[in-house]
Amino acid sequence: MPTSSHKTNKPKVATKNMHAHKDRADLHSALTVQHLCVSFDNNEVLKDVSFTLSEGTIAAVIGPNGSGKTTLISTILGLVKPEKGEIKILGRHLHEVRHLIGYVPQRFHFDKYFPITVREYLDLARHKNHAKSRIEEKIREVGLDLSILTAKLGTLSGGQLQRVLIAQAILNNPSILILDEPATGIDIVGEAAFVNILKHLNEEHNTTILLVSHDVTMVMKFVDEVICVNKKLLCAGPPRTALTPRKLEDLYGGESHLYEHSH
Residues in contact with other proteins by the rule CB under 8 A: 77-79, 95, 98-99, 101, 103, 105, 108-111, 113-117, 120-121, 123-125, 152
Nearest approach in angstroms of CB 87 to other proteins is 14
Of 108, 36, 30, 107, the residue nearest 71 (C-alpha): 36
Q: Residue 180 Cβ, how far from other proteins at the closest point, in Å?
A: 10
The smaller minimum CB distance to other proteins, of residues 53 and 101, is found at 101
Which of 76, 235 has the CB closer to other proteins? 76
CA distance 177 to 89: 12
Q: Which is nearer to other proteins, 153 or 234 (CB)?
A: 153
Number of H helices, E strands in the chain: 9, 10
SS3 (DSSP) at 239: helix
Closest CA to 234 of 224, 214, 248, 245: 248
Using the minimum distance from each CB to other proteins, give the nearer residue, 104 or 251: 104
The sign of the CA dihedral 237, 240, 242, 247 is positive
CB 142, min distance to other proteins, A: 17
Q: Give least dist CB 260 to other proteins, A.
A: 34
Q: How do strand 225-230 and strand 13-14 relate by DSSP bridges?
A: unpaired
Least Cα distance to 127 among 116, 117, 114, 138 occurs for 138
Q: What is the DSSP letter of 152?
A: B
Nearer to other proteins by Cβ, of 116 and 192: the residue is 116
**Please, what is the minimum distance in Å from the beta carbon of residue 111 to other proteins?**
7
